[in-house]
Structure 1
């Protein structure tokens, strides 16, 4: 299997967009990766499915139990609620930044690029996002593109749920490539 022996973290909390967690999770597992859901608290987190609360997802580890060294990549699902709650949590921001600083793949979809803005990762990068946060991303110093998926030295961004298959395929491709040792850090 393509990602056999690889371990991927998905960082989320209540209000994640259901499909933006489940589609990449399932694609990564199908490719042979071990996938763990990381959150602020143990137990379950509840998704948002289009216009109402969705299904719960079991949390595998809390942020206190997870370290960047444990993972080959990090996936950040969007939705409006999830990244907005996470971007005010210092432990979440430190975890994201630690994965990035270790030159590992960081993937954010829809509104999750807010987390890349908050951590300083967006500065100087080519990125995309959900259209309503285009200005936030650009104001953070990123070069925003209206593209399905944008990859900049192992930082993957995708604009919305319609692009989840392409987003998931790009995560698999980048994880197979390994660490991005040439990655520059503008922040």
Structure 2
């Protein structure tokens, strides 16, 4: 059952039209492999990420803006590395070198309450204060009182990724069982 907790209109009415909600309104988050984030957003790359990607796939999979580097999009607007998996799920072809922006979405881990509502966004971890927001566009968000899993597993993993303490994702990506990939092997055997 999905419960939508009341979110104050002051959070939703932003001049920038960017809506970020403090983590305390989220019961649970789990990537459901819908692929919307890979179709609706531009992925900004750091120079190091750009170098890693272009070294393997070539410059043609990226594009340059005025002062930023991006992953290229297909004609339909989807990320060039997004591909269909079984059961209507979508998978990332860059999982092994996934950009930080992709690893963190839909969460924003900040050192200051950039989007307001500081007390609701505050999260203390590793003796530091962080301000955690989520983008409500994500379909993997379940609204309500924060769950134990969100507080003790999911948000800490996002913070560790932000701080560079962790590279591999477990709670911050779609769970994929080994049998999930067997459909491709059967095609080639």
What TM-score do the two structures reach when normalised by structure 1?
0.30
Higher normalized contact order (CA 8 Å, seq sep 6+, divided by chain length): 2
Structure showing greater radius of gyration is 2
What TM-score do the two structures reach when normalised by structure 2?
0.29
